[in-house]
Amino acid sequence: MGRVFGEVHHDDAISAGASRILIVPWPELGHIAPTLSLTRKLTHQGHCVTYLTDMQFAATIRAHGGVFCSAMGAERESREYLTGSAIHFRYMTNHGNDPLLRRFRSILVAAIREGNYALVLCDHSLGEAVRKSSARVVGAKRVVVYATTLLNWTERYECETIAMVFCPNELEIEQFRSHVPSLVHVGPSLPPYDAKAETSEKFDNGKPLVVASFGSQSVRYRYMIPVMEVIVATAQRNPGIQFIVAASSEKLHAALHGATGPNLIVRQWIPQQALLRQASALITHGGCGSLKEAICNGVPSIVIPMAYDQPFNAMRVRAHNIGSAIFPDKLSERLLEMSVFDAVRGRHRADIAKMRQIFAVREKESRAYRLIEGLLK
């Protein structure tokens, strides 16, 4: 390829039998991370995997063998960090024939034509218009829709293309499990563990560790500050338990300024995977990425759902007894304290161990890789 959308890509030869694959994710790390293990396996076999997304994810993509292509045009040259929502609303929308959506679709179509891709993986969250734009260029059978979370119970999967869900179907409540052949549930697909992100902090003070983290979109959640205040108050009431809280936005961090104590640490960023290796519980919004990390580390989740798929995930956690769920309008120090005690004292230990084993088996099966390899033949 030549110069494409502000970044140079070299037309490197790929090995015989290898293919070019384009991944079009929702511009948020949580929607890119589940694809990284798949990218590593595909590039190891000689395939070329390109991501059409925002430049702030370029280093992560390259570190896992992928190629970065800017979806935002030449004007997005700033290295400023933007949340997924900020990128989305600045450059595209998911509604009708909005000019920003049309612009993104034109960039997508141009990238597909120039790249000569054998397959296009489109994030389910980008909507039908983006998927159809891809299908018109490469054909419907060469488009794979992927979802980073289980579908909501109100959704029906009706699509002529294969869809891949980066979450084992066993996390779903049995009565809602999908049996649609074209909807393929794969392993949890956590990104390879980054030893460089290992925290130097070791909480070996004899206290159980509780991690509280609500994702990069927490600034948008209506109840976020009151919820954090309840978490802080619960920590202050229980000096025998160590709490570490991620206040991921400047606004949230400022609201909790001064909320510290001998058993309470508040930071804008925490190495969540590393901390979960030591943790007894995770307090979370219930995003699928955080739940999968908790399950794979054998840690029960206390889900306080805010939006999107999170209320459904809260019910999944409760149904499988791999944690507890408290809706924000019902949250109190007493309820949160009871849930923390349940997790720390091992109420969920047996069930989280079973789910952890299921996830480990599904990950070893490499269903995502085998699916993509089969479509490339």
pLDDT, tens digit (0-9, with 9 covering 90-100), for 73-130: 655 555 566 665 566 566 555 444 566 667 788 888 989 988 889 999 999 888 888 8
Pair 69, 54: CB distance under 8 Å: no
pLDDT in tens, 234-291: 999 999 999 999 886 666 666 676 677 789 888 878 888 889 999 999 999 999 999 9
185 part of a folded domain: no
Identify the residue with better confidence: 101 or 172. Answer: 172
206 part of a folded domain: yes
160 part of a folded domain: no
148, 177, 203: which is the final residue of a domain?
Answer: 148
181 part of a folded domain: no
pLDDT in tens, 176-209: 988 888 889 999 998 766 555 555 566 667 899 9
Which residues form the domain of 109? 3-148
343, 203: one domain? yes
200, 136: one domain? no
346 part of a folded domain: yes
pTM of the model: 0.87
322 part of a folded domain: yes
213, 342: one domain? yes
113 part of a folded domain: yes
Question: What's the total number of domains in the chain?
Answer: 2
As to burial, measured by CB atoms within 10 angstroms (0-12 exposed, 13-18 middle, 19+ buried), residue 358 is middle
Pair 339, 324: CB distance under 8 Å: yes
User: Letter for the amino acid at 258?
Assistant: G
124, 68: one domain? yes
CATH code of the domain containing 290: 3.40.50.2000
283, 338: one domain? yes
CA angle 322, 323, 325 (to 5 degrees): 135
324 part of a folded domain: yes
Spatial separation of the C-alpha atoms in residues 95 and 114, rounded to whole Å: 27
Question: CA dist 237 to 234, 244, 267, Å?
Answer: 5, 15, 20
91, 213: one domain? no
